[in-house]
Every structure is written in C-alpha cells, then in structure tokens.
Amino acid sequence: MDLIQRLKSDYPWIQTPLVVSAPMRLIALAELAVGVSGAGGIGFIGAGTDVSDLEKHFEHASDLLARSSSPPKSSSEVLPIGVGFINWGAQLDQAIGIIKKYKPAAVWFFAPSSKQSLKEWSERSREACPEAKIWVQVGSVREAHLALEIRPNVLVVQGTDAGGHGLAQGAGLISLLPEVNDAVQEKIEKEGCEAPIIIAAGGIVEGRSAAAALALGASGVVMGTRFLASKEANIAKGYQDEILRAADGGQSTVRTKVYDNLRGTTGWAESHNARGVINRSYTDNLAGMGEAENKRLYEEEIKKGDEGWGVEARMTTYAGTGIGLVKEVKGVKEIVEEVRKGVKSALNELKV
C-alpha cells in the first residue's frame, strides 16, 4: 500500500493533501481539534505537560462530535482526533487511563526524557488502545533514529522555523526532511519493517510552503502558528493580534529560553528552547537586565491583559517564522481547505 493509501486507511475521514493541526498546549483544545478533523484534516488536542484537564477536553470533543451533523468518519473503535503529550512532564499513568477511555485515533509524543521513557509511553499507549497510531515529533536525524526504535506509525519532522518548543540547534525543513527521509529508507530496507509516514512541521502556514514540504518527501503537513490565528484557538486576543501584526519572521522571532524562564515553564532539557516573537522581555534580557527584575516586570505585565502583548510589551508570544504570512483570523475549516487548494495550485504552477 502506498503512503497516501495508508493514511486514508488509518484515518478514513481525511482528504489529501493532509493538513494536521499541532497539539499546542493550552491553545489547541476540543474545538480546534474537532474542527480540523471535520474539515478533512487531523486535529490534535494539546495535553502538553499536564494532563489534569485532559479528560474534560475529551468529554468536550466527544460531545462536539456527537452533535455534529456530518462527523468525520472514523472506525467505530476510535475518536477521529489525536492527542499530543510533552512526555518529559506529562503524567504517564493518568495519560494512559485517558487514552484507554477515549481512544484517540493518534497519540503524539514530543521531547521524552529518555529513550526508555519513549519506549514505555509507546508500549503502554499501544496496549491501552491498539487502534491508536503512534506519532513522534523529532527535530534532527539523530532524534529520528532514536524514534525509529519504537516503530512509530508517523514521524513528524520539525524544522527550526517552528513556533514554540523544539531543538535549540536545528535545521530548516529544506535540508532536514530529505536527510531524515533517507535515514528512514535506509533503516527500513535493512530491517524490512514498515516505514513510518513522514509529516513536515515548521514554518508552514499556507499552500506554497505545504507544497514545498510535500516535494521534500513529506506525506502531509502540520501547522501550529497558522492555527493560532483561527477562530477555534483558545488564545487571548492580545496574543492573536500579535500573530497578525508581526512580519518578517526570521527577524521578528527568536529561539530562546528567556520566555520559559520568565514564565516559570522550567523542566525543558538544555537541548530545547522555544521560538517566539521578540518583545521587551527578550531585548531587556539581551541588554543585561537580571532575571529577577525581568520576572517582576513580566508579572506586572500579566495584569494588563491584552495590552501585555506587543513589541514594546512583555508577554510570551510563541510563534514560528511563517508569522509574516498570517494576516487574518479565519475558521479552521477555511484554513484547512485553503491550504489543500493552495498546494494544488502551487504544484500546478510549477514550471520545470
């Protein structure tokens, strides 16, 4: 079976080219996930490092699906959405109980604390829900090799343009994805096992970038930043306005640990940091402001509500370098359909 047929058989409601919404912690909840799957993509709920509210989000998603007039068609065994964990922080036993109860079609792993931990998460998830496909997000060829040991169904290859967390040292998709693809093929040929499906993430916000990712060897694309500017995202208006305002993402965003430190989101390994829009928190840190003072100012800024976001403000605005191409808040259905259509026209217009 070719990879696209396999995708269609694993997730029978999808349309291709496949568009996936990233499991963004606190932001990608039931409405976003169900909306994306309803539009023929695959929507993920972001559980992140804390699964204490996850059951509530699954209840909400189940309710939305039950009330939908045309729910995405999944096998009766699984819910047609996925869930994403940040493994170093998420509570395994609690997560497994929820996977067993709600049976998501896909379970996404990111940043496990060790190879052993990744193995344990995947074995226990497969045991809890054998129908759920295992997705692992990696940011380097080395991480891809490690992930391959648990035989993931899907490898999400995350380039350094991605918004939010990822490897501090990385490469853009244009060099990373083909190299990962070759490494996967080599291993598969040697071991004779089934190849994982490769999905690209990082900097993709519209049809042209999605088409490029497919040309690099991906079978679908993940978008995070684009969905920050969606009606279904659980996001403050000030944050969303910044996504629309910022342009020239290579200049207006930066990978740093500064924002995590100020927010107290500690626990990430040294290997990881996060990409966000440059604001006063970052420029003051660069200019030598101590962490205690910067944190004090951050706490003050929170009290300002939506005014706390902006170039001259201080609130964290995680986003990828594709931010300059995101100009309008739209519903997820429109976003997914636009990207699918955009891929087709970008490929049609190719002259070689």
Question: Out of 148, 320, 326, 336, which residue is the one contacting ligand FMN (CB under 6 A)?
Answer: 320
Q: Confirm or reject binding of residue 217 to ligand FMN (CB under 6 A).
A: no
Largest Cα–Cα distance of the chain, in whole Å?
58
Q: Confirm or reject binding of residue 225 to ligand FMN (CB under 6 A).
A: yes
Nearer residue to ligand FMN within complex by CB, 55 or 188? 55
Task: Tell the smallest beta-carbon distance from residue 85 to ligand FMN (Å).
Answer: 8
Nearer residue to ligand FMN within complex by CB, 41 or 292? 41
Q: Confirm or reject binding of residue 154 to ligand FMN (CB under 6 A).
A: no
List the one residue out of 131, 38, 47 whose CA is nearest residue 90: 47
Question: Which residue's CB atom is positioned nearest to ligand FMN?
Answer: 224
- Distance from C-alpha of 280 to C-alpha of 173, rounded to nearest angstrom: 29
DSSP string spanning 8-22? HHHSTT--SSEEEE-
73, 80 in Cβ contact below 8 A? yes
Q: Confirm or reject binding of residue 164 to ligand FMN (CB under 6 A).
A: yes
Task: Tell the smallest beta-carbon distance from residue 249 to ligand FMN (Å).
Answer: 8
Question: Out of 35, 38, 40, 46, which residue is the one contacting ligand FMN (CB under 6 A)?
Answer: 46
CB under 6 A: which stretch of 23-31, 64-72, 178-186, 326-334 binds ligand FMN? 23-31
Q: Confirm or reject binding of residue 105 to ligand FMN (CB under 6 A).
A: no
Question: Out of 197, 223, 229, 346, which residue is the one contacting ligand FMN (CB under 6 A)?
Answer: 223
Nearer residue to ligand FMN within complex by CB, 162 or 315? 162
Nearer residue to ligand FMN within complex by CB, 50 or 179? 50
- Distance from C-alpha of 339 to C-alpha of 78, rounded to nearest angstrom: 26
64-103 as b/e: b if 16+ CB within 10 A:
bbeeeeebbebeeebbbbbbbbbbbbbeeeebbebbeebb
- Return the number of other C-beta atoms located less than 10 Å from residue 197's C-beta: 21
- Residues in Cβ contact with 16 at an 8 Å cutoff, skipping those fewer than 6 apart: 4, 7, 8, 220, 340
CB under 6 A: which stretch of 119-127, 160-168, 178-186, 336-344 binds ligand FMN? 160-168
Q: Confirm or reject binding of residue 37 to ligand FMN (CB under 6 A).
A: no
- Distance from C-alpha of 105 to C-alpha of 135, rounded to nearest angstrom: 10
Residue 298 class from Cβ within 10 Å (0-12 exposed, 13-18 middle, 19+ buried)? Answer: buried
Question: Out of 24, 129, 167, 212, which residue is the one contacting ligand FMN (CB under 6 A)?
Answer: 24
Task: Tell the smallest beta-carbon distance from residue 348 to ligand FMN (Å).
Answer: 24
Rounded (5°) CA angle 137-203-135: 15
Residues numbered 110-149 forming contacts with ligand FMN, rule: CB under 6 A = 110, 137
Residues numbered 240-299 forming contacts with ligand FMN, rule: CB under 6 A = none
Q: Confirm or reject binding of residue 229 to ligand FMN (CB under 6 A).
A: no
Helix axes of 30-38 and 54-67: crossing angle, nearest 10 degrees? 40
- Distance from C-alpha of 189 to C-alpha of 23, rounded to nearest angstrom: 31
Question: Out of 22, 34, 78, 105, which residue is the one contacting ligand FMN (CB under 6 A)?
Answer: 22
Nearer residue to ligand FMN within complex by CB, 65 or 223? 223
DSSP string spanning 126-193? HHH-TTSEEEEEESSHHHHHHHHTT--SEEEEE-TT-SEEEESS---HHHHHHHHHHHHHHHHHHHT-
Nearer residue to ligand FMN within complex by CB, 323 or 346? 323
Question: Out of 89, 104, 202, 310, which residue is the one contacting ligand FMN (CB under 6 A)?
Answer: 202
- Interface contacts to ligand FMN, rule CB under 6 A: 22-25, 27, 46, 48, 84, 86, 110, 137, 158, 161-165, 201-204, 222-225, 318-320, 322
